[in-house]
Amino acid sequence: MSGSALVLGRGVVEDMVRLAALEVPGVSRIGRGGPPWRSWGRRSIIVRHAGDRVDVRVWVVARPGQPLGPLAHEVRAAIAAAVDRLLDLRLETATVVVDGIGG
């Protein structure tokens, strides 16, 4: 055998992104804001993975009273750290969409 390789499924990367974003104190939940019918059939995390590069788009709902710009920056930093440290991949882009406030 000539070496080994780790192959990650998209679901693994999505789970790591979800967990990293939820660790940020100002994030209430991962998902779309508004009424439940609005988000039906729409994903809250989109991952594009090619080689060792990853592009991520994640929708979050913020806790009330959070400054949204710094929150989005913290979510992006948490995702970048998890992707780099835990998955040994390179985060190309991370788009954080704050789509609601509340629970």
Q: Phi/psi class of residue 56: alpha, beta or left (left: φ > 0; alpha: ψ in -120 to 50)?
A: beta
Q: Which pTM does this prediction carry?
A: 0.86
pLDDT of residue 49: 86
Domains in the chain, please, with CATH?
Answer: 10-101 (3.30.70.1350)
pLDDT digits (tens, 9 = 90+) for 8-67: 777 889 999 999 999 999 999 999 888 777 777 889 999 998 888 999 999 999 999 999
Whether residue 2 has pLDDT greater than 70:
no
Q: How many residues does the chain have?
A: 103
